[in-house]
Structure formats: C-alpha cells, structure tokens
Amino acid sequence: MTADDEIAELTAAYGGGVQSLPAGQRYLVLERFPLGDGWNPPVSPLAIRITGYPEAALDGFYVPGHVRLASGAQPTNASLSSVLGSELWWAMSYHPKGWRTGHHNLRSFIGVARQRFAEVR
C-alpha cells in the first residue's frame, strides 16, 4: 500500500486531507478524530506531519489549541506552538518506540495517537 493509499483510507474514515504550508511542510489533517470521553471535545481534528513520509519516520501529532481534558485541564507533554492556518495547535510530544520505516505506517501511527488520548493526561 502506498502513502497515497494510506492517506486516502484515513481521510475516507475521518474526513480531511493533506495541507501544505508555505515552508514546505505537509500535514495530514483528519477532521473527525475520536479523542475519547476524557477530552473536550471528544472528537477533534488531528494533524500528523507527513513531510518526507514514508522514507522519514512519523513523529508527534497535533490537535487544536482549544482541546482540553474533560476536567478542563491542559494536556501534559504538549506545547501550544504549532501553527496550522491561523490557529495555534497543541504539539503532542508523544513518540512511537521502536518505529521501523517500511514496517510501520500511518495506520500504526494512528494507533500511537489513540494510545496517547486513552491515557487522558
């Protein structure tokens, strides 16, 4: 399966598409990604930097700056620094362990994101 096939599969499931920034960075922005009941909102856009993928490993992901824990607290290990469009996004510092290029893919990376949001912290 090619990277384009993976992107098409994920955008069919979650909506969204690829967004290119003027600096040459490319992001896959999934419009309706389920964060879970521990988050407010429980469904949110999710962005993954795909510049260089599949040759380069995927690393970190982003949600809009208005996303909070259901308690109202800010997420841990995240910084409001990434800009997609005119809005600041949380850069979630959560990285896959043992990533192997050619073995892991966007679908397995989505599993990493799901794991992070299941931790509700």
Spatial separation of the C-alpha atoms in residues 75 and 102, rounded to whole Å: 31
Q: Where residue 104 falls among pLDDT bands split at 50, 70, 90?
A: confident
Q: Which residues share a beta bridge with 28?
A: 18, 48
pLDDT in tens, 20-31: 988 899 999 999
Instruction: Tell me if 89 sits within 8 A of 63, measured CB to CB.
Output: yes
Average pLDDT over the chain, rounded to whole?
91
- Check whether 118 has a pLDDT greater than 70: yes
Give the predicted TM-score (pTM) of the model.
0.93
Q: Which residues share a beta bridge with 49?
A: 27
Start-end of H helices in 1-121: 3-14, 106-118
